[in-house]
């Protein structure tokens, strides 16, 4: 079993998961006794102000190749911990590689953390800047009613769930409060709850978290860390049988197959 951390837009594999006190989430997870035998993999990709035409499909291709080259694909169970745009990258990967994952009998876990599954109003506001700079990743995060790419991904991912061929267990964590920027006023959540809690039942709002702090637990008592550990443990213990099913509010189901 492997846990794969995937960061978000304009971030990287270090600053996304590191609290200001120095706590690094993948390292914190590695010290959890019940999951000490679980592999931990941190995926980093190119995303900065000057990423230009390096788009989400390019990132998904990079994820696919890295998981293959680094042996992650040998795991029978994979849990993705995906923050912000990382959740979009992971869902696109699942849609693209669905048949392969089914053939390998992979049991997937998705912990989506403040992921704009239906887009973000901030991306709408910043879209003129993204277009001016030719920033393909920023343009891909606009709300899906104005975003054909994201709307298609939303439909494709729902179809994967409804077909029940691939075992997917998931949870979604949403941010609690606004992001305060120096010299600016307080804004809305970067990812509104309706966009961050889309696919899986029992979404959880992490108290006092904003879009960035939600991915940076301070210690092993932080609620998001405890939830991740419980999520991993439940995935480890899950056995393949037809009665073990996951169901989300929309009625999509995925049976666990042997």
Q: Of 116, 121, 97, which Cα lies nearest the Cα of 108? A: 97
As given in the structure block, the two tokens for residue 207 are 């108290």
Domains of the chain: 2-255 (3.40.50.1820)
Cα 143 to its chain centre, rounded Å, is: 17
Considering the entire predicted model, what is its pTM? 0.84
Average pLDDT score over the chain:
82
158-179 mean pLDDT: 91
| Torsion angle of the four alpha carbons 217, 169, 38, 81, in this order, in degrees rounded to the nearest 10 | -40
Per-residue pLDDT tens for 32-56? 999 888 999 999 998 876 666 788 8
Predicted confidence at residue 4, as pLDDT, reads 97
Q: Of 161, 126, 157, which Cα lies nearest the Cα of 254? A: 161
CA distance 217 to 227: 11
Per-residue pLDDT tens for 57-108? 899 999 999 999 999 999 999 999 999 989 999 999 999 999 999 999 999 9
């Amino acid at each position: 079993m492997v846990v794969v951390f995937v960061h978000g837009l304009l971030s990287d594999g270090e600053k996304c998961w590191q609290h200001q006190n120095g706590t690094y989430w993948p390292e914190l997870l590695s010290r959890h006794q019940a999951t000490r035998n679980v592999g931990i993999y941190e995926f980093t990709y190119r995303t900065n102000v000057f990423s230009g035409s390096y788009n989400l499909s390019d990132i998904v291709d990079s994820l696919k190749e890295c998981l293959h080259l680094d042996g992650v694909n040998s795991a029978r169970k994979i849990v993705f911990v995906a923050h912000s745009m990382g959740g979009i990258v992971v869902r696109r990967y699942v849609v693209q590689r669905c048949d392969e994952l089914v053939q390998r009998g992979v049991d997937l876990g998705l912990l989506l953390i403040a992921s704009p599954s239906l887009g973000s109003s901030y991306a709408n506001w910043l879209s003129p800047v993204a277009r001016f700079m030719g920033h393909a990743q920023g343009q891909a995060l606009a709300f899906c009613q104005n975003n054909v790419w994201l709307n298609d991904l939303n439909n494709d991912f729902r179809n994967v769930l409804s077909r029940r061929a691939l075992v997917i267990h998931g949870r979604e964590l949403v941010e609690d409060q606004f992001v305060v920027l120096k010299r600016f006023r307080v804004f809305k959540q970067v990812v509104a709850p309706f966009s961050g809690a889309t696919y899986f039942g029992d979404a959880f709002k992490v108290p006092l978290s904003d879009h960035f702090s939600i991915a940076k637990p301070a210690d092993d008592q932080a609620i998001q860390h405890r939830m991740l550990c419980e999520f991993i443990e439940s995935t480890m213990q899950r056995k393949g049988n037809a009665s073990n099913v996951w169901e989300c509010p929309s009625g999509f189901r995925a049976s666990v197959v042997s």
